[in-house]
Amino acid sequence: MLLNLCKTYKCCGIIAKVGGKSNSQHLLAKASDIVVKNVSPKEVYNAIEKLIESGKMKQGGLGLYDSFVHYDVRGVRARWNYSKLIINN
Ligand SMILES: [Zn+2]
């Protein structure tokens, strides 16, 4: 997979608003907003979920948005869906 790691603060800004959490995982450099060319965010989300389940990626935060997927290594499992899409596993 060709990953374009975007260092935007956009999605964690939304998380901060919703959850009231000021210490974003992006600021700790433990997060990425992932966009894969020609692959939908939903497919990227499901692929990362499978990699986490199989132990190939660290457990952490995984969030689906309309145009990208947020992944971070906070150490505990967290999932959210801010996209209009329904996640199918
Ligand atoms: Zn993010």
The per-residue pLDDT for range 22-50, each reduced to its tens digit, is 556 776 668 888 888 889 999 999 999 99
**pLDDT for 51-60, tens place per residue?**
999 999 899 9
36 contacts: CB under 8 Å, gap ≥ 6: 1, 2, 3, 4, 43, 44
pLDDT band of 5, cuts 50, 70, 90: very low
| Measured distance CA(6)–CA(46) in Å, rounded | 19
pLDDT band of 16, cuts 50, 70, 90: very low
34 C-alpha to center of ligand 1: Å?
8
pTM: 0.70
54 C-alpha to center of ligand 1: Å?
23
| Measured distance CA(40)–CA(68) in Å, rounded | 8
38 C-alpha to center of ligand 1: Å?
20
88 C-alpha to center of ligand 1: Å?
21
Does residue 68 have a pLDDT over 80? yes
25 C-alpha to center of ligand 1: Å?
7
23 C-alpha to center of ligand 1: Å?
12
11 C-alpha to center of ligand 1: Å?
5
